[in-house]
Amino acid sequence: MTNKYDLLLKNGELIDPAQGLRGARDIAFRDGRVAALDSEISSNDAREVVDATGRIVTPGLIDIHGHYFQHIVPFATSADEVCLPNGVTTTVDAGSSGWLHFEGFKEFILTREQTRLMALVNLSALGMMSPRRSIGEDFGPTIGISGGPQTQLDPRSVGELQDLRYAQVEEAVQCIKDNPNVVLGVKIRIDHEISGEANTIGEANTIPALERARAVADMTDSFVMVHVARVPIPLAQVFEYLRPGDIVTHIFHSAENNVLDEKGNVRTEVREAREKGIVFDIGAARRNFGISLSLTAISDGLLPTTLSSDITKVRPQSPVIYNLPQIMTPYMALGMSLEEVIAATTMHSSNAIGESGRLGTLAVGAVGDATVIDLEEGEFTYDDGNGESISTDRRIAPVITLKDGIVWKPGEA
Ligand SMILES: [Zn+2]
């Protein structure tokens, strides 16, 4: 007798914001997809049964901002080491590679990881492999930037966009066209230490680097992800270049030109951009999210669209490296509900990368990715690398990861 289903996840509490569902459900998988969803599915119908009693079942988590071009980009990490063990089944490398080294990135990383891995091509041909170094662990103020400790750079550092000639529009466009479903759009960092003069607003009142990223996205019908921490340009001017579907990452950074005005209220133009459909992404790691700023913004009704880790390798000068569940937990303490942090890592993340309906949901027919979570009780503290921390008494702890309808096991990556 053949079984109707390959695998049955039984007795869990399903939270799937894309279907507006929270409740006890059994979920069956077949041929890598969700095959059935019901309050009771018989164990006899499945070849393998996994018990999720007392646990929460969500769609496989999606992290839309990480760095995985390891061995080439100095701070990049291994997607398979940080994603699948932590309930993340899909992730996006946010611009580690430019067009120039993309073939290598594809050959040695993208096609070899078990994690579902997509990428944004950096506007700079160099990607993130220009020689940019911090000086030890000494965090002092950087020129022209205030509002939180910043990395002090080695004077020999060169950012990937300090020479605008590296921003080669035609080649970036070709890279996106040559890699459909793999390269989703273009990434740009307008951090002043990285872009320098490419950020200049001159007589023409333009941000040249961002103008080129816009052109790449328009010519490929894709989107821009723009890094906005440590930028000497007000967000309102950055938003002028963005359209619905573009992503602003590090949106809750607490350095100059953040989402709050001088009085500590959410800026009107920020609310307007969010309402217009610009994706507000957290990109948390390495001092790029502020705890009190997040508290203020969220209590003022400004929720991030997506939570992401910006995960990298742990380095001595990187005070905060959190994986995705380790970002979800503090954001619950910062004012988001459990459903909201799950929506921000499933439904909204899949929308942001153009995969809604296929990923980020456990609707019948969707890709069979699921994450089983324990809500652990205890005392947990998270810090933002800017001198602020927050404690909470419950933590999101992923215990089982299913990718393509199969239970992921350590060592089988
Ligand atoms: Zn990043």
pLDDT in tens, 274-298: 999 999 999 997 689 999 999 999 9
Residue 283 Cα, ligand 1 centroid: separation in angstroms?
7
pLDDT bin (cut points 50, 70, 90) of residue 198 is confident
Angle between helices 169-178 and 208-220 (to 10 degrees): 30
b/e sequence 289-319, b meaning 16+ C-beta within 10 Å: bbbebbbbbbeeebbbbbbbbbbbbeeeebb
Query: Hey, what amino acid is at 206?
Result: T
Instruction: Give distance in angstroms: CA of 40 to centre of ligand 1.
Output: 42
Name the residue with tokens 């993208």. 110
Mean pLDDT along residues 362-387: 95
Q: How confident is the model at residue 386 (pLDDT cuts 50, 70, 90)?
A: confident
Distance 115 CA to ligand 1 centre (A): 18
pLDDT averaged over every residue in the chain = 91
When pLDDT is averaged across residues 68-76 and rounded to a whole number, the result is 92
Tell me the pLDDT band of 410, cut-offs 50, 70 and 90: confident
Q: Calculate how far, in angstroms, residue 403's C-alpha sits from the geometric centre of ligand 1.
A: 25
134 or 67: whose pLDDT is higher? 67
For residue 312, report the distance from its CA to the centre of ligand 1, in Å.
8
CA quadruple 380, 385, 389, 394: dihedral sign: negative
Mean pLDDT confidence for 303-330:
88
Say whether pTM exceeds 0.85.
Answer: yes
**pLDDT tens figures, 9-20:** 999 999 999 999
Helix (H) or strand (E) holding 328: helix 324-333
Distance 226 CA to ligand 1 centre (A): 10
Ligand 1 centroid to 41 CA: how many Å?
Answer: 42
Joined tokens for residue 386: 């800017």
| Residue 319, pLDDT score | 61
Q: Does the structure show a pLDDT above 80 at 78?
A: yes
* Å from CA of 288 to ligand 1 middle: 9
Give 143-183 pLDDT, tens digit per residue. 333 333 445 566 777 889 989 999 999 999 999 999 999 99
Total count of residues recorded for the chain: 413
